[in-house]
Amino acid sequence: MAFATIWELLAVGRDGDAALGAPETKALDFAGLRALARRTVADLNAMGIGRNDRVAIVLPNGPEMAASFLAIGAGATTAPLNPAYRADEFEFYLTDLKAKALVVQAGEETPARAVAAKLGVPVVELMPDRAAGAGSFTLAAGALKGVPAQAGFADTEDVALVLHTSGTTSRPKIVPLAQANVCASARHIGQTLALKPADRCLNIMPLFHIHGLIAAVLSSLAAGGQTVCTPGFNALKFFAWLEEAKPSWYTAVPTMHQAILSRAERNREIIGRAGLRFIRSSSASLPPQVMQELEATFGCPVIESYGMTEAAHQMASNPLPPRERKPGSVGIAAGPEVRIMDEEGNLLPSGSLGEVVIRGPNVTKGYEANPDANLKAFANGWFRTGDQGTIDEEGYLRITGRLKELINRGGEKVSPLEVDEVIMDHPAVQQVVTFAMPHDKLGEEVAAAVVLREGQSATERELRDFAAKKLADFKVPRKIVFLAEIPKGATGKLQRIGLAGKLGLGA
Ligand code: AMP
pLDDT digits (tens, 9 = 90+) for 289-316: 999 999 999 999 999 999 999 999 999 9
Q: Encode pLDDT of 265-275 as tens digits.
A: 999 999 999 99
Q: Which residue has the higher pLDDT, 245 or 493?
A: 245
Indicate which residue's Cα is closest to atom 9 of ligand 1. Answer: 308
Confidence of residue 1 (pLDDT cuts 50, 70, 90): low
- ∠ CA 363-364-368 to the nearest 5 degrees? 165
CB-based contact 151:45 (threshold 8 Å): yes
Confidence of residue 167 (pLDDT cuts 50, 70, 90): low
Cα distances from 202 to residues 82, 317, 342, 362, in angstroms, run: 20, 19, 39, 24
Pairing of strands 200-203, 226-229: parallel
Q: What is the mean pLDDT of residues 240-264?
A: 95
**pLDDT at residue 279, rounded to an integer:** 98
pLDDT of residue 169 exceeding 60: no
Q: Is 414 helix (H, G, I), strand (E, B) or coil?
A: strand
Q: What is the mean pLDDT of residues 15-43?
A: 98
DSSP labels, 351-384: T-EEEEEEESTTS-S--TT-HHHHHHHEETTEEE
Pocket of ligand 1 (CB under 6 A): 166, 210, 282-285, 304, 306-309, 330, 385, 387, 399, 402
CB-based contact 7:36 (threshold 8 Å): no
Distance 488 CA to ligand 1 centre (A): 14
pLDDT of residue 89 exceeding 90: no
pLDDT of residue 222 exceeding 60: yes
**pLDDT at residue 166, rounded to an integer:** 64
pLDDT of residue 190 exceeding 80: yes
**pLDDT at residue 470, rounded to an integer:** 86
Indicate which residue's Cα is closest to atom 4 of ligand 1. Answer: 308
Distance 231 CA to ligand 1 centre (A): 23
> In order of start, what are the domains of the chain with their CATH numbers?
29-183 (3.40.50.12780), 406-502 (3.30.300.30)
CB-based contact 254:290 (threshold 8 Å): yes
CB-based contact 335:360 (threshold 8 Å): yes
Cα–Cα distance, 438 to 444 (Å, whole number)? 5
Confidence of residue 27 (pLDDT cuts 50, 70, 90): very high
- ∠ CA 313-315-320 to the nearest 5 degrees? 105
pLDDT of residue 381 exceeding 50: yes
**pLDDT at residue 170, rounded to an integer:** 57
Confidence of residue 168 (pLDDT cuts 50, 70, 90): very low
**pLDDT at residue 407, rounded to an integer:** 87
pLDDT of residue 437 exceeding 60: yes
Q: Cβ–Cβ contacts within 10 Å for residue 42, how many?
A: 12
Distance 260 CA to ligand 1 centre (A): 21
Q: Which residue has the higher pLDDT, 402 or 5?
A: 5
Q: To test ligand 1's pocket by mutation, which of 308, 396, 494, 496 has the most ligand atoms within 8 angstroms of CB?
A: 308
Percentage with pLDDT > 90 across the chain: 84
Q: Is the peptide bond before 322 cis (omega within 30 degrees of 0)?
A: yes
Q: To test ligand 1's pocket by mutation, which of 189, 306, 363, 384 has the most ligand atoms within 8 angstroms of CB?
A: 306
Q: What is the mean pLDDT of residues 467-495?
A: 87
Distance 431 CA to ligand 1 centre (A): 18
Q: To test ligand 1's pocket by mutation, which of 210, 255, 283, 434 has the most ligand atoms within 8 angstroms of CB?
A: 283
